[in-house]
Structure 1
Amino acid sequence: MTLESLTGWRPAAGAVVITLGRRSTPLLDRARVYACGITPYDVTHLGHAATFVWVDTLRRVLRVLGVEPVLCRNVTDIDDVLDDAARQAGIRYDHYAAFQELRFTDDMSALGVRMPDHEPRAHRYVDTVIRLAGALADSGAAYVRDGGVYFRGRSVVARSRLDEETALRLAREYGDRPDDPVKDDPFDVAVWQPTEPGHPAWDSPWGPGRPGWHAECVVMSTSTFGPCVDLHAGGADLRFPHHAYHSAMAEAFTGVTPYTRNWFHVGTVTVDGAKMAKSSGNIVLVRDLLETHPASVVRLAIIDRPWAEPWDYAPGVLNVAAARLEDLHQAAGRHVGHTDDTSLEQLRRLLARDLDVSAALDVAIEQGGTAARVLTAAFGLS
């Protein structure tokens, strides 16, 4: 949906500039967007959904601005947590992943989240990770040790601007094994890790093993888009270690910096201040929400707020979103005698300026007519 298709509006000459966070990114006709997708080991909760609804909203805004987004959203179907979940369920890891991915796809479809243009799955890129590991070892950015290949990561911590204690805590939390004695440095991470009982394994020049998590995203992104992307999206909780190592590994391999022109780190969803997670017992399932509320209400509850800020969820937010949606629909039905080009340009500026959805909705509800219809259609709020 574009402003042009609804109103005959034409963008001004020159690049489209979208600002995310404190960085502006000029774009021409396309935007390469890589989004860290799911590890298919569990049902979809609101924390997952918030990230992917915001990525979908980013795509829709880019189209409104006259830029065609090309989205790659990966599936991490080789991962230790997936192996553990499949083992507990008594199912092969790949069968378990396929089932959970299907449930995720159904949930996203129910929420009106459009399918990505590319959806690479990690199990199809094992050979590519082996090539990456060999190339990084040949260049000195990684080293071979006891059947594994380890990326030198000390500089990644410095780039992340985290203190060492915090970085170590996050590395342990996300399975990077900083205490592994085989590594030269606690912050080195596996590009290729040697085989262990209970995990799948593939042959490699260093012996049987499996890809490291960060390396999987490097090869899927690089194979799809080449050495860099315009926007890299994902949850803010992935900023370190995952995104930090992804970008550092990609830059070490390609020699192209920066790996991404801008980041889109969506704020974490919490309940009573605690991150929404199965381990915390505080998850809110998307399927449960959709049993009592239309998808457009759930979508609006997610996006009617600053995208980068943490969101502490409470059930009452859905009632607020329902009332807000009714206001938007009534505004869209109001007859306005002429197309208000000033209002449409104001919408464009607000959306290009850090995806200020809330302010754009305020304008659309106040002005009514075409402005309200544009946002209703563009954001999937019919």
Structure 2
Amino acid sequence: MAARQLGPGVTDPTQRVGALPPPHPTLTLGGVRLGIVGAARLYVCGITPYDVTHLGHAATFVWSDLLAGLLRGTGVEARVCRNITDVDDVLMDAARARGRHYDEFALGQEAVFGQSMRALAVATPQAEPHARHHIGTVQQLAQTLLDAGAAYERGGTVWFRGGEVASGAGLDHDEALRRFADYGEQPDHPDKDDPFDVPVWQVSTDGQPAWPSPWGWGRPGWHAECAAMALAVHGGSIDVLAGGSDLVFPHHVYVTAMASAATGVTPFARATLHVGEVRLEGRKMAKSTGNLVLVDDLLTRCSPAALRLAILDRRYADPWEYRPDDLDRAEQRLADLYRAAGASSTAGTAGTGDADPDAALARVRDDLDVPGAVEVALATGGEAARRLIAVLRLGDAR
């Protein structure tokens, strides 16, 4: 029976002959069902380019890349914004110690970072804003927060009111203060109304970069840079905010609070991807402590695909205590996956038919359960293993 015509070029879908295609699969992330209409907007907290890429960096960006790829597999466009924080006091200090201008120094570090990401098959993001290109956007944010009563100006610095932000972060007062101080937030600064207020725009001293503003010469605050860049690229809200779990407080909660205070949109992010910190000998891997394992060094010991699998073959939110034999295990798991992909699929669990070729991917779509997906692929083999290798991009890392 032909479809009933309702108008020029329009038919009644209930009268179409033949089966409709199956709906696209959906993802869950941290208990949130990520149903997307149109495009998925991901904001990934990027690098401060003052040293080459370490394993902790790579973990965040490989996991974010996997999520973006999975979203594209559901039939939507994934728009990834991964920022470059190239106006930052730590960057200035590192450049000065090497006798370099911070702009020049940062660009060189970005180039090294880009090489590492390409080796690990991390796709180039659709947007890669730089803080120094968004000075005007930060000033717009500062004025908007002032107009909303969410900030105040004192001595050339615009302070965001953060008392309620800290109290709502789930930390006790002393722990929040400790973390605040660890990130250089100066809770005892005499110009603050509250220890948990943070600068949106701050006064620059001699030797620090400075731009003119309505409040005098100065530079952006760290959290304000990310909030401004996210708003500039994605608008008033995003689907996923991604970054390391160590950035949840204070960084992500303040980025979210500033964006929501400026736009009135709550929640700013529908879901979060907070990747567990990578540790070495019991301590968080960080540039500030020199407790690093560099990606370029690891790639002299293992294949890029094995390193990508070593990062992904675990629950994303769990801390990872890195050990050198993790690379050997990943190489073996990779070889096993390749062998499984070359084999015929085993029968279904009831022994009554072919195994589901989508079974492994279903595990990844359920809160990025890569370890579970690998086990399914190894047990099933064939098309299920081939599809998993493609989604994890283990054949693209080089």
Q: Would you say 1:215 and 2:224 are equivalent positions?
A: yes
Identical residues among aligned pairs (%): 52
Q: Is the 8 A contact 1:44 1:104 kept in 2?
A: yes
Q: Would you say 1:308 and 2:321 are equivalent positions?
A: no
Decide which of 77, 88, 108 is 2:117's aligned counterpart: 108
Q: Would you say 1:97 and 2:106 are equivalent positions?
A: yes
Amino acid at match of 1:354: D
SS at match of 1:19: strand
Decide which of 380, 384, 398 is 1:367's aligned counterpart: 380
Q: Would you say 1:12 and 2:22 are equivalent positions?
A: yes
SS at match of 1:28: coil
Distance in 2 (CA, whole Å) between partners of 1:341 and 1:51 is: 36
Distance in 1 (CA, whole Å) between partners of 2:126 and 2:354 is: 32
Q: Is the 8 A contact 1:193 1:210 kept in 2?
A: yes
Q: Is the 8 A contact 1:11 1:65 kept in 2?
A: no
Distance in 1 (CA, whole Å) between partners of 2:288 and 2:223 is: 23
Decide which of 268, 271, 276 is 2:280's aligned counterpart: 271
SS at match of 1:292: coil
Q: Would you say 1:321 and 2:330 are equivalent positions?
A: yes
**How far has the Cα of 1:342 moved from its partner?**
5.2
Q: 1:128 to 1:281 in 2, by over 3 A?
A: closer
Q: 1:180 to 1:374 in 2, by over 3 A?
A: same
**How far has the Cα of 1:338 moved from its partner?**
10
Distance in 2 (CA, whole Å) between partners of 1:154 and 1:58 is: 33
What residue in structure 1 maps to residue 10 of structure 2? none
Distance in 2 (CA, whole Å) between partners of 1:306 and 1:255 is: 34
In the TM superposition, 1:188-207 aligns within 5 A as 188-207=197-216
SS at match of 2:34: strand
Q: 1:11 to 1:91 in 2, by over 3 A?
A: farther
Amino acid at match of 1:240: F
**How far has the Cα of 1:18 moved from its partner?**
1.9
Distance in 2 (CA, whole Å) between partners of 1:256 and 1:220 is: 16
Q: Would you say 1:31 and 2:40 are equivalent positions?
A: yes
Q: Is the 8 A contact 1:16 1:67 kept in 2?
A: no
Amino acid at match of 2:362: R
**How far has the Cα of 1:16 moved from its partner?**
4.5
Q: 1:343 to 1:160 in 2, by over 3 A?
A: same
What residue in structure 2 maps to residue 347 of structure 1? 360
Q: Would you say 1:165 and 2:178 are equivalent positions?
A: no
Decide which of 58, 62, 74 is 2:67's aligned counterpart: 58
Decide which of 283, 308, 314 is 2:292's aligned counterpart: 283
**How far has the Cα of 1:341 moved from its partner?**
7.4
Distance in 1 (CA, whole Å) between partners of 2:136 and 2:236 is: 18
SS at match of 1:74: strand
Distance in 1 (CA, whole Å) between partners of 2:393 and 2:361 is: 17
Q: Is the 8 A contact 1:351 1:357 kept in 2?
A: yes
Gaps of 5+ in 1: 1-9
Q: 1:37 to 1:11 in 2, by over 3 A?
A: farther
SS at match of 2:357: helix
Gaps of 5+ in 2: 1-19
Q: Following superposition, which runs of at least 4 residues in structure 1 exceed 4 angstroms of deviation?
A: 336-342
**How far has the Cα of 1:173 moved from its partner?**
1.3
Distance in 2 (CA, whole Å) between partners of 1:217 and 1:344 is: 40
What residue in structure 1 maps to residue 196 of structure 2? 187
Distance in 1 (CA, whole Å) between partners of 2:198 and 2:392 is: 39
Distance in 2 (CA, whole Å) between partners of 1:242 and 1:109 is: 27
Flag the structure with larger Rg.
2
Distance in 1 (CA, whole Å) between partners of 2:116 and 2:152 is: 41
What residue in structure 2 maps to residue 3 of structure 1? none
What residue in structure 1 maps to residue 135 of structure 2? 126
Please list the CA deviations of residues 168-200 of structure 1 after superposition, one character each: whole Å capped at 9, or x if unmatched: 111111122211111111100000001112210
Distance in 2 (CA, whole Å) between partners of 1:341 and 1:96 is: 56
Distance in 1 (CA, whole Å) between partners of 2:25 and 2:190 is: 50
Distance in 2 (CA, whole Å) between partners of 1:344 and 1:255 is: 44
Q: 1:198 to 1:80 in 2, by over 3 A?
A: same
Q: Is the 8 A contact 1:33 1:71 kept in 2?
A: yes
**How far has the Cα of 1:363 moved from its partner?**
1.1
What residue in structure 1 maps to residue 161 of structure 2? 152
**How far has the Cα of 1:344 moved from its partner?**
3.0
Q: 1:337 to 1:161 in 2, by over 3 A?
A: closer
Q: 1:337 to 1:236 in 2, by over 3 A?
A: closer
**How far has the Cα of 1:11 moved from its partner?**
7.2
